[in-house]
Amino acid sequence: MADPVSGIDETFHAPARLGIMTLLLQQGSSDFATLKRTLGLTDGNLGAHIRVLEQAGYIEVEKRFEGRKPRTICRITPGGRRAFARYLDALERVIATARR
């Protein structure tokens, strides 16, 4: 029997990144302030997790100004959507194995 944990993408496995991806999957996109508030993270912590996901190609980040205020928008990429679906499938296999 194959190791069910071997399919777990550790990029998503951190609770904050799991939360970011889940919210983006539900909403399509979200701004930094909403992610920060919803997930209860600090600016620095959220920024670090966003960078990891962006560098992996799982999200794209758009920085712009609205009036004089900076606004950071995060969106899940098509590749991120596929990779997250594979991650969720792997988690389901782990859960199924653990419940046997």
pLDDT tens for each residue of 54-84:
999 999 999 998 888 889 999 999 999 999 9
pLDDT of residue 70: 87
- Asked whether 42 and 22 are in contact (CB, 8 A), the reply is no
Cα 58 from Cα 50, distance rounded (Å): 10
Structure confidence at residue 2 as a pLDDT band (50, 70, 90): low
Cα 11 from Cα 61, distance rounded (Å): 17
Multiple choice CATH, 4-99, 3.30.1370.60, 3.10.20.30, 1.10.10.10, 1.10.760.10: 1.10.10.10
Cα 31 from Cα 20, distance rounded (Å): 11
Predicted TM-score (pTM) of the model is 0.89
- For residue 95, what are the CA distances in angstroms to 54, 84, 85, 99? 28, 16, 15, 6
